[in-house]
């Protein structure tokens, strides 16, 4: 959840964490790559790689990589070399690069993204950087994979995803629900594809698995958690009406906010046969992000007093959002709270606390979004107490985004009364992505080659075999 906190000021981040980007698949005879450092500020920079592909001496493709953010294969919409000038445009990231090759074979030019223009020198490299993700499945698969488009109640195409179906006898069907922010069907993050790994593992074990892209970006921007619950209900009903699936149990696996979505869906729909929460949110959203804020502040070197002040102002803002329904009034009240808090600060302090004028304007856009304001109105316990199906809730003990020590007990309080098959479990030394880790902080996610701990995969499978047994 809230991965955008990782890098505050890098404009590339918005697409890096929200685009379903696939690692480049080589189909071109010759590739040449260049690498350089894009300086974002006095403190921050990014490695940028440009790869040009040639066939019969003609330029046929160009792609960017951002290795420091574990994103590869950023598509370009146009590319050409004319009179020694290279121009590459990527609509995907609202950017373009115009450069001239110098005598040493390096490109000297300007990288422009939205309103930001930066010098970028790209030097030739022998080999394009790649990621090692040993768990990511590769074709050919020993199961059936097909694309599905599921229509909403009005006949419009709403949900696009991948169904994997076992080649052997079917045990059951499970739907994967991703966490906060726009996610593709693989829940791609920092070069990992957790949902693709989970789908492959469970399908090989005899389960049909459906994973899907979030709503199209224009629609997603206006959507709330309740809308995501509606999408899940449409998917469940689709499979409940499919004779290939409806003779077996159909359940949900939700990660992070996806766990909350699963709780809400199961509370409303008795047709859901089982539910697995992977770091699902059972605390009120304000408590979860206050917990995150405290850890981020400490990691940034804030003193205990500064952390306390950060939490105090954040709590005041979240209390206001819980009560306020109007986004325009919420924006006004937010500005008043922040201005009152920061009026005695020096410019350096405002920068440290992310309370510059630009910061505040950006934050207003976030906190007044339909999704953010709606999430503050949701009380997870109201849904947890209505769930009748078996629930398996798991968390990593080094997950600082959704704290296992405060969230799992709330879930256990309700599910233990409904089914003897329900249980909660915490895993030592696992982070929010269920990777084996050292600290659990975000900066480890991409560095760790493991996508998800085999212990977690096996535990999920054992529990599903128990609840799906005929």
145-184 pLDDT, tens digit each: 999 999 887 777 789 999 999 998 999 999 999 999 999 9
Model confidence at 231, in pLDDT bands (50, 70, 90)? very high
pLDDT for position 350 = 86
Q: Which tens digit of pLDDT belongs to each residue from 205-215? A: 999 999 999 99
Cis peptide before 134 (omega within 30 of 0): no
Locate 234 and state its tokens: 């449409």
| Residue 184 backbone phi and psi in degrees, to 5 | -85, 180
Average pLDDT, stretch 421-447? Answer: 96
Q: How many whole angstroms separate alpha carbon 371 and alpha carbon 4?
A: 15
Give dist(CA 314, CA 291) in Å, integer.
Answer: 11
Least confident of 13-17, 256-260, 454-458: 13-17
Share of the chain above pLDDT 70, in %: 93
Domains with residue ranges and CATH for the chain: 3-125 (2.40.128), 143-284+378-467 (3.40.50.1820), 285-375 (no CATH)
Angle between helices 257-268 and 225-240 (to 10 degrees): 60
User: How many angstroms separate the CA atoms of 263 and 268, rounded?
Assistant: 9
pLDDT of the residue at 16: 29
Q: Contact 52/65 with Cβ under 8 angstroms?
A: no
Count of CA atoms in the C-beta half-sphere (13 A) of 186 = 19
pLDDT, residue 159, reads 94
Cα separation, 197 vs 251, in Å, equals 18
pLDDT at 1 over 70: no
Give the 3-state secondary structure of residue 373: helix
pLDDT at 29: 60
Give the DSSP H/E element, type plus range, for residue 6: none
For residue range 330-375, list pLDDT tens digits in order. Answer: 999 999 999 998 888 898 888 888 888 888 888 898 899 999 999 9
Retrieve residue 350's tokens.
Answer: 């405002």
Q: What length is written for the chain?
A: 470
- For 313-326, the pLDDT digits (tens) are 899 999 999 999 99
**Residue 408 clears pLDDT 90, i.e. is over it:** yes
Distance of alpha carbon 407 from the chain centroid: 20
Q: Which residues contact 235 (CB under 8 A, 6 or more apart)?
A: 150, 159, 175, 210, 212
Query: Residue 43's pLDDT is what?
Result: 82
SS3 380: helix
Furthest CA-CA distance within the chain: 74
Please state, rounded to an integer, the average pLDDT across all residues of the chain.
Answer: 90
The mean per-residue pLDDT over the stretch 449-465 comes to 99
- Confidence at 429, pLDDT banded by 50, 70, 90: very high
Please choose, from the candidates 11, 103, 85, 1, the residue with its C-alpha nearest in 3D space to the C-alpha of residue 48: 11
Measured distance CA(74)–CA(14) in Å, rounded: 13
Q: What is the pLDDT of residue 272?
A: 98
* pLDDT band at residue 28 under the 50/70/90 scheme: very low
Q: What angle do CA 311, 40, 295 make, to 5 degrees?
A: 20
Quickly state the pLDDT bin for 10 (edges 50, 70, 90). Answer: very low
Judge whether 89 and 79 are in contact, CB under 8 Å.
yes
Name, in order, each residue with C-beta under 8 angstroms of 30's C-beta and a sequence gap of 6 or more.
53, 54, 55
First to last CA, the chain: 36
What SS3 class is residue 189?
strand
Write the pLDDT tens digit of every residue in 30-87.
999 999 999 988 888 999 999 999 988 889 999 999 999 998 999 999 999 998 899 9
Residue-level pLDDT at 349: 86
Torsion of CA 311, 316, 318, 322, to 10 degrees: 150
Q: Are strands 107-113 and 249-255 parallel, antiparallel or unpaired?
A: unpaired
Query: What's the pTM?
Result: 0.85
pLDDT of residue 403: 97
Report how far residue 163's alpha carbon sits from residue 144's, in angstroms, rounded to the nearest whole number. 8
Report in angstroms the alpha-carbon separations of 16 from 28, 40, 347, 351, 367. 25, 15, 30, 24, 21
Q: Which residues contact 447 (CB under 8 A, 6 or more apart)?
A: none
CA 142 to chain centre: 28
What band does 21 get if pLDDT is binned at 50, 70 and 90?
very low
Q: How far apart are CA 67 and CA 87, in angstroms?
A: 21
């Amino acid at each position: 959840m809230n991965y955008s906190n990782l890098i505050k000021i890098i404009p590339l981040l918005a697409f890096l964490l929200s685009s379903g980007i696939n690692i480049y698949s080589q189909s071109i005879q010759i590739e040449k790559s260049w690498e350089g450092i894009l300086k974002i500020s006095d403190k921050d920079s990014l490695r940028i790689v440009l790869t040009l592909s040639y066939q019969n001496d003609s330029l046929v493709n160009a792609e960017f990589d951002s290795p420091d953010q574990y994103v590869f294969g950023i598509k370009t919409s146009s590319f050409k070399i004319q009179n020694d000038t290279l121009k590459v445009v990527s609509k995907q990231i609202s950017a373009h690069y115009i450069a001239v090759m110098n005598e040493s074979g390096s490109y000297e030019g300007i990288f422009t993204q939205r309103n930001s223009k930066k010098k970028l020198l790209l030097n030739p490299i022998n080999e394009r950087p790649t990621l090692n993700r040993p768990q990511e499945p590769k074709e050919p698969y020993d199961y059936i994979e097909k694309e599905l488009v599921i229509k909403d109640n009005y006949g419009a195409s709403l949900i696009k995803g991948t169904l994997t179906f076992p080649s052997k006898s079917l045990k059951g069907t499970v739907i994967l629900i991703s966490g906060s922010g726009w996610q593709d069907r693989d829940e791609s993050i920092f070069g990992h594809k957790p949902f693709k790994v989970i789908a492959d593992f469970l399908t090989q074990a005899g389960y049909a698995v459906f994973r899907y892209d979030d709503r199209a970006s224009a629609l997603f921007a206006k959507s709330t958690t309740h809308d995501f619950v509606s999408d899940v209900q449409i998917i469940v009903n689709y499979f409940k009406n499919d004779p290939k699936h409806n003779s077996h149990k159909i359940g949900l696996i939700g990660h992070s906010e996806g766990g909350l979505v699963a709780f809400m869906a199961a509370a409303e729909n008795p047709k859901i046969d089982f539910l697995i929460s992977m770091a699902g949110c059972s605390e009120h959203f304000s408590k979860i992000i206050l917990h995150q804020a405290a850890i981020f502040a400490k990691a940034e070197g804030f003193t205990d007093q500064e952390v306390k002040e950060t939490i105090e102002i954040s709590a005041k803002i979240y209390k206001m959002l819980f009560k306020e329904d109007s986004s325009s009034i919420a924006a006004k009240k937010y500005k008043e709270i922040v201005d009152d808090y920061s009026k005695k600060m020096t410019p350096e302090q405002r920068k440290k606390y992310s309370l510059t004028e630009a910061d505040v304007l950006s934050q207003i856009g976030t906190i007044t979004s339909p999704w953010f304001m709606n999430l503050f109105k949701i009380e997870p316990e109201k849904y947890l107490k209505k769930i009748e199906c078996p629930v398996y809730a798991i968390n990593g003990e080094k997950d600082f985004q959704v704290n296992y020590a405060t969230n799992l007990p709330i879930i256990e309080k309700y599910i233990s009364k409904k089914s003897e098959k329900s249980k909660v479990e915490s895993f030592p030394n696992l982070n929010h992505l269920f990777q084996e880790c050292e600290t659990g902080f975000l900066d480890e996610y991409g560095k760790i080659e493991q996508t998800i701990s085999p212990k977690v995969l096996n535990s999920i499978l054992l529990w599903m075999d128990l609840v799906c047994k005929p």
